[in-house]
Amino acid sequence: MEKESSQFIADATTTQNMEGEADEESNPLNQPLLKRSRTLSSNSQAMVGAKVSYIESLDYEINENDLFKHDWRSRSKVQVLQYVFLKWTLALLVGLLTGLIATLINLAIENIAGYKLLFIVHLIEKKRFGNHFISVFYGIHLFHWGNLLLTMVAAVLCVCFAPTAAGPGIPEIKDYLNGVDTPNMFGATTLIVKIIGSIGAVSAGLDLGKEGPLVRIGSCIASLLGQGGPNNYRLKWHWLRYFNNDRDRCDLITCGASSGVCAAFRAPVGGVLFSLEEVATWWRSALLWRTFFSTAVVVVVLRAFIQICNSGECGLFGSGGLVMFDVRNVTIKYHVLDIVPVAVIGIIGGVLGSLYNYCLHKVLRLYNLINQKGRIHKLLLSLTVSLFTSACQYGLPFLVNCRPCDSSLSETECPTNGRSGNFKQFNCPDGYYNDLATLLLTTNDDAVRNIFSTNTPYEYQTSSLLIFFALYCILGLFTFGIAVPSGLFLPIILMGSGYGRLLGLAMGSYSNIDQGLFAVLGAASLMAGSMRMSVSLCVIFLELTNNLLLLPITMIVLLIAKTVGDSFNPSIYEIILHLKGLPFLDAHPEPWMRDLTVDDGVVPPLGIATEATEAHGIILRAHLLQALKKKWFLREKRRTEEWEVREKFNWVDLAEREGNIEVAVTSDEMDMYIDLHPLTNTTPYRVLESMSVAKAMVLFRQVGLRHLLIVPKYVAAGVSPVVGILTRQDLIPYNILTAFPHLARTTGGEKGN
């Protein structure tokens, strides 16, 4: 697995180089300067949205230079209060806006998809009565064309305006919060494309969720709010300067991601835990609390809208409360022996989940090859998938037999012809229903609701469930990689619930557990088997289904599925991160990193002349650029005073992170001096050259560094005071193994977590 994906990256890079498509963010200054071997840093480019970008690391280190120190002292109590107030206001706004946009998306999807489905139902009804064959034929065409059009909107937007908006976005957020600043991740364009694209793609009936996109939307909102608006039209509000640093921006984005999950699943605690378990790298108790505040706001907004919509003012949106798939009124009876089917679900979920990861990896590699051929190929791929999906959704229900309605159900309950409803009439005579149509010809949310339905042991026949499961396995693999905003949650839930319900049907009377609960457990197990989360998934399922008594068996299923899955391959997010070439720094050093010392891969920094005997500190490129831009030049070689510096710079300037700027330096100025001492971080973290890479990595990751100075063990005259500088790229296991291939052979031990 490892080997294959690395090959892929090599392929992608080569293709890229052959095409010579220069990226507008490419940045020659950011080329690695300090490495002995080129190999170690050949991967400083990430594949985001099939476009290679140069990336920078985020800065968490306390930058101790004279200027910042002074500014810290001069920050008054009022300013601290402003900062705290703004921090909470932004958390409130993030929650509010995410809630509003989520409602908007829900409304749009339910209405578009709803009217589309009503139209189909209407057509089928006509057909059942045996007339108007030709109009039916045209109608079906119209249905397919409608779906194609919706997909087209989503795909065109993604392809042309925001390639980074395709896909789920959770891996990228995870990587950002790990400290990697990938460009164009959280822009206004991405936000708008995500919203419209998500509406289009989900309404088109594709096997996609709005969950992943909502997480990204939440993060985009947070990022935009924090910087005061889109890049070119920023609000120049004085107070916002406090948020012009990587730490506060990361905090806000964490709030945004949690709000997104909360809005997607209506699961406030689950949202917070999701961020904690899956997304965030550093976590503080204070952040937990602020994140929680954001999700609380989201829930209040959602609840308010649901109340408004319950009075029927939102078109087809309206049914359902805060809990999405309510199985609350089921009395759950199970005893100790039921642990056997539960364990079986877990094991199968783990196996299927890792198999899904494996296959999806292959499909994504294939898709990447197709997508690199150009925009038209991307578009065509999306449209093909859309066409296949709608053909299956409409065609397959004709294959199964109609089933008679249970006599205990009233006529309004079975069969139904409305948009939702658990017993779809479709092509059946009165008193009969088509169980496959119930699952396929509906929105994804309703499909989940229908397959989770409890106390309906005879509703579905085995053949229908088999078709459903097989179809969603295929769709789940082939839909994810297309160029529209897509989430992984819903496809996996659909697949998992299919196999869970099948298992429940097979168990029959051997188990006390309801078939609907089998479906719920199946969905949970597949998610754990593929995404490898535990606590957050458990809470999300708890909040989705509102039944606390399910908790113990859900926990067991999740634990088993995750354990089984982990023994085969990494989680789907890790696979995607690796596919995109994003340098994610893991929490645990690999065992073989203990055998490698930090000086093994670095040479002295170029910036230090050989006769240098002192390391004064390090200076950020952005600050150097500022010094050049502001022409901070001196006629004589002298140490500047604090007031001089403060006249020229303030910390708001220095917090800016600009790209390259053109500075015209006259020949006169070329002879002048520049005093960097006020801008120099005089106390960078430093390690001895004899320290193992494992130990250095613990420091690097725990403190959130960008640069780590390596100092020699014995200082003597003529010896450079700095042996080298470690960066994120030097600590990525893949990069080290590329430079030291012999280590790869000795690996294989487990990480000592």
Q: Tokens 């929490």 — which residue?
A: 587
Q: In this structure, are strands 724-726 and 708-711 parallel, antiparallel, or unpaired?
A: antiparallel
Q: What minimum distance in Å lies between the beta carbon of 380 and a second copy?
A: 40
Work out how close the CB of 232 gets to a second copy at its nearest, in angstroms, rounded to a whole number: 31
**Strand partners for 634:** 673
Instruction: Identify which of residues 320 and 415 has a Cβ nearer to a second copy in the complex.
Output: 320
Concatenated DSSP letters for 603-640?
---TTS-TT------B--HHHHHHHHHTT--BSS--PP
User: Shortest Cβ distance from residue 34 to a second copy (Å)?
Assistant: 21
Q: How far is the C-alpha of 668 from the C-alpha of 749, rounded, in Å?
A: 61
User: Cα dihedral sign for 579, 532, 174, 693?
Assistant: negative
CB-based burial label for 100 (10 Å; 0-12, 13-18, 19+): middle
**Shortest CB 236 distance to a second copy, Å:** 24
Q: Exposed e or buried b for every residue in 666-693, given b needs 16+ CB within 10 A? A: eeeeeeeeebbebbbbeebbbbbbebbb
Q: How far is the CB of 187 from a second copy (least distance, A)?
A: 28
Nearer to a second copy, 320 or 397 (CB): 320
Q: How far apart are CA 118 and CA 594, in angstroms?
A: 63
User: Which residue lies nearer to a second copy by CB, 203 or 259?
Assistant: 259
| DSSP secondary structure string for all residues of 523-583 | HHHHHHHHH---HHHHHHHHHHHT-GGGHHHHHHHHHHHHHHHHTT---HHHHHHHHTT--
Contact 465, 502 (CB under 8 A): yes
The set of residues, in sequence order, having a beta carbon less than 8 Å from that of 348 and lying 6+ positions away, is: 499, 503, 525
User: Least distance from C-beta 525 to a second copy, angstroms?
Assistant: 14
CA 258, CA 273: separation in Å to the nearest integer? 8
- Please check whether residue 485 is in contact with residue 154, taking contact to mean a CB–CB distance below 8 angstroms: yes
Nearer to a second copy, 116 or 266 (CB): 266
Find the shortest distance in angstroms from Cβ 349 to a second copy.
Answer: 16
Backbone torsion region of residue 320, taken as left when φ is above 0, otherwise alpha when ψ lies between -120 and 50, otherwise beta: left
CB of 513 to a second copy, least distance (A): 15
Task: Select 10 or 286, whichever has its Cβ closest to a second copy.
Answer: 286
Q: Please, what is the minimum distance in Å from the beta carbon of residue 200 to a second copy?
A: 31
- Among 61, 71, 70, 180, smallest CA distance to 617 is for 61
CB of 269 to a second copy, least distance (A): 6
Residue 17 or 319 with smaller CB distance to a second copy: 319
Tell which residue, 474, 455, 457, has the closest CA to residue 466.
Answer: 474
Minimum CB distance to a second copy smaller for 117 or for 577: 577
Q: Is 176 helix (H, G, I), strand (E, B) or coil?
A: helix
Relative to beta strand 403-404, strand 432-433 is: antiparallel
Amino acid at 636: E
CB of 586 to a second copy, least distance (A): 10
Q: Is the CB of 31 or the CB of 683 nearer to a second copy?
A: 683
C-beta of 80 vs 665, nearer to a second copy = 80
Instruction: Pick between residue 120 and residue 693 the one whose CB is nearest to a second copy.
Output: 693
**Among residues 321 and 374, whose Cβ is nearest to a second copy?**
321
Residues pairing with 711 in the sheet: 688
C-beta of 534: minimal distance to a second copy in Å? Answer: 5
Rounded to the nearest 10°, the torsion over CA 719, 725, 726, 727 is -170
Q: For residues 629 and 669, what is the distance between their CA atoms, to the nearest angstrom?
A: 12
Residue type, 493: I
Q: Which is nearer to a second copy, 457 or 752 (CB)?
A: 752
CB of 91 to a second copy, least distance (A): 11
CB of 691 to a second copy, least distance (A): 4
Considering the complex, state which of residue 303 and residue 377 has its C-beta at the smaller distance from a second copy: 303
* 553 Cα distance to chain centroid: 28
Name which of 25 and 71 has its Cβ closer to a second copy. Answer: 71
Which token pair is 608?
Answer: 């230090």
Beta-ladder partners of 167:
485
